[in-house]
């Protein structure tokens, strides 16, 4: 898979932690319409600060991403390093510093090894920028088990996305780290609201462990090389790519073995459906039941019930299904437990809840909770 027209990518190994690729630069030949959504964490990293500043005008020419070091909670020196990273990238690509977006992911509280960063940039040439999409996705991985890529078409234009993220994931108007590139021609003023709508239905609908990262970044850039396309087609293609990446992120959650999809309908509005869906997918008891293939629908009922502010939800109006099989309000003795257990043991589980209030609906994505998640995070920095 190649990037859309007008984009080039370059990867390499700075030596942040080991000899694997740990830096990615994606660039166009000029500033192009760009929309970026970022974490709302009170501990947002210096890279977020720089990207918000540089992307405020709705354009950018390049983005640099460093993996295995988040450069978060590193004070004035960390901010200076993020700005220097933008400067080094602009010199390599050949553009203004303020046309560079910066992202970083990995361990919190450690300064970037700037001597190694400077040495790497000094040995690079942008004429070598020929990385393919899979290589770009691999360069930003941390505890991901595989590169995450997706693509779609919008008339003559293409949309290609990469993402990383498997832990510390429950976004708040952003996502883990995602870069989506398209060669469609679109104004910044149209791209930004379009991207916000797409992100709200996809990346903002995923949760691995309820923890919002300090470095969440979701960026889309449009080179315009393919010319104008129908806006509805473009939004649809962006949505296809974002949803594909969302599902990959949830399925690859740290230690995960099962993708959990929670569909809530019959809600007062879409916002209520999302709140209830998140309560279900974030429940450790629901997650462990799925991991154990235990058809304990009572845990789903519990998760709905703890949404105590939703006073228009009445238990007698609620229907809970595992897949297409209704499990509540049927009596436990009426359930085919062996068949339900077999379904829950599969690679993807749908929990479908109908609230019986009105017509709102939303779908969220998550994963089971395994001992693998505990082991990965217990040993993360050691």
Residues annotated as part of the active site: 175
CA 214, chain centre distance (Å): 13
- Of 351, 357, 358, 354, which Cα lies nearest the Cα of 265? 354
C-beta separation of 193 from 237 below 8 A: no
C-beta separation of 318 from 354 below 8 A: yes
Q: How far apart are CA 53 and CA 58, in angstroms?
A: 10
C-beta separation of 177 from 105 below 8 A: yes
- Of 327, 205, 344, 360, which Cα lies nearest the Cα of 286? 344
Other CB atoms within a 10 A radius of the CB of residue 284 amount to 11
- Of 334, 332, 302, which Cα lies nearest the Cα of 318? 302
C-beta separation of 262 from 351 below 8 A: yes
Site of tokens 């997918």:
281
Site of tokens 């602009």:
90
Q: How far apart are CA 22 and CA 177, in angstroms?
A: 14
Phi, psi at residue 30, to the nearest 5°? Answer: -165, 165
Other CB atoms within a 10 A radius of the CB of residue 315 amount to 11
Other CB atoms within a 10 A radius of the CB of residue 297 amount to 22
């Amino acid at each position: 898979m190649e990037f859309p027209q007008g984009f080039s990518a370059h990867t390499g190994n700075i030596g942040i932690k080991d000899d694997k690729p740990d830096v990615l630069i994606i660039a166009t030949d000029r500033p192009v319409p760009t929309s970026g959504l970022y974490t709302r964490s009170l501990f947002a990293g210096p890279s977020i600060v720089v990207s918000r500043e540089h992307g405020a005008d709705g354009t950018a020419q390049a983005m640099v991403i460093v993996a295995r070091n988040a450069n978060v909670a590193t004070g004035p020196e960390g901010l200076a390093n993020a700005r220097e990273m933008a400067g080094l990238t602009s010199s390599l690509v050949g553009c203004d510093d303020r046309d560079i977006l910066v992202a970083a992911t990995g361990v919190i509280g450690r300064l970037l090894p700037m001597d190694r960063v400077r040495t790497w940039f000094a040995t690079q040439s942008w004429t070598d920028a020929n990385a393919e999409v899979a290589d770009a996705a691999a360069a930003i991985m941390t505890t991901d088990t595989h590169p995450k890529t997706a693509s779609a078409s919008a008339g003559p234009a293409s949309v290609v996305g990469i993402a990383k993220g498997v832990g510390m994931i429950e976004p708040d108007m952003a996502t883990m780290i995602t870069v989506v590139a398209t060669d469609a021609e679109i104004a910044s003023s149209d791209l930004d609201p379009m991207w916000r709508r797409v992100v709200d239905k996809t990346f903002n609908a995923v949760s691995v462990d309820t923890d919002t990262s300090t470095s969440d970044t979701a960026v889309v850039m449009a080179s315009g090389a393919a010319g104008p396309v129908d806006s509805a087609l473009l939004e649809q293609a962006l949505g296809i790519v974002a949803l594909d990446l969302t599902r990959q992120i949830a399925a690859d959650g740290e230690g995960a073995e099962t993708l959990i999809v929670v569909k809530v309908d019959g809600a007062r509005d879409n916002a209520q459906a999302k709140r209830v869906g998140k309560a279900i997918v974030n429940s450790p008891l629901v997650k462990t039941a799925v991991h154990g293939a235990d058809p304990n629908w009572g845990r789903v009922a519990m998760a709905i019930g703890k949404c105590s502010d939703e006073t228009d939800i009445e238990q007698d109006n609620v229907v809970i299904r595992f897949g297409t099989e209704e499990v509540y309000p049927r009596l436990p003795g009426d359930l085919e437990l062996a068949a339900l257990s077999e379904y829950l043991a599969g690679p993807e589980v749908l929990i479908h809840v109908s609230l019986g209030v009105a017509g709102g609906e939303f779908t969220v994505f998550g994963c089971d909770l395994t001992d693998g998640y505990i082991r990965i995070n217990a040993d993360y920095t050691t």
